Amino acid sequence: MTDLVLITDDGPVRTIRMTRPDKKNALTMAMYDAMAEGIETAPKANIRCLLIGGAPVVFCAGNDIGDFLQAAMGGGLGAPILRFLYALARSDTPLVAAVQGNAVGVGTTMLMHCDHVVASTEARLSTPFVSLGLVPEAASSLIAPRLMGHARAFSMLVMGKPLNAAEAKDAGIVNTIVAPDAVEAEAMKAAQHIAILPPQAVTASRRLMRGTPEEIVARIDAEADQFKERLKSAEAQAAFTAFMTRKR
């Protein structure tokens, strides 16, 4: 596992926290595996709600570029990424997110799988997939249009327009906006509220609302296939070369 993801249980609530603030919580393959493990094992630990959080000033900057490019050389997204996305899609345990600062790429798309999202007034969501010559992931190409309509989803996923907290709430991604220093407490309050509800009724209601996970998983796989092809494209290779040159 990795010490870059901290998993703690407080009664029926499990917190899965990304703890790599020096890299803005960019996710490594080991972090993906650890987060997936935290979600997958929740039912056996009698966890009734999961809370996903980040560092005090940033939620998640997306993929660690080094890890991501190494996985891409293997021809795809990488097994740990898919494991995490499948865990989100198949989770029967409700998911709450506490979002401070930037949520980039998968930092944004994972929120679309959450049942309740608390964001700070300074939160900013962005999905720069197409600008890198790639396509959306985490079934966001399916979920985002359902949440916000085609026009706004196209603006975010294809044109790369970021959303501030108010825009994300209006789009249906965020439930509650609070001051930065109140995000964690408000998210935990929501998680604890969910956790004390009759668990079988919560599960049944959630399944009715979300439907079976097969459709979501199928879209994750379809996106992953397109992602694999796009990684080989001249557009993506040029975008990544430019990105790495700019980083230096």
What is the predicted pLDDT for the residue at 248? 53
Instruction: Tell which residue, 124, 122, 130, has the closest CA to residue 160.
Output: 130
Per-residue pLDDT tens over the stretch 32-49? 999 999 999 999 999 999
Instruction: Tell me how far apart the alpha carbons of residues 159 and 182 are, in angstroms, rounded to a whole number.
Output: 32
User: How would you list the strands of the sheet with 124-126, edge to edge?
Assistant: 102-104, 124-126, 163-164
DSSP state letters, 110-173: GGGG-SEEEEETT-EEE--TGGGT----TTHHHHHHHHH-HHHHHHHHTS---EEHHHHHHTTS
Tell which CATH architecture fits domain 5-181: Alpha-Beta Complex (3.90)
Per-residue pLDDT tens over the stretch 62-86? 998 777 677 666 666 789 999 999 9
What is the predicted pLDDT for the residue at 213? 96
CB 81 within 8 A of CB 64: no
pLDDT means over runs of 10, the chain (248 residues): 91 97 94 98 97 91 80 73 97 98 97 98 96 94 97 98 98 98 97 98 96 96 92 84 69
> Could you state, in order of their start, the residue ranges of all structural domains in the chain?
5-181
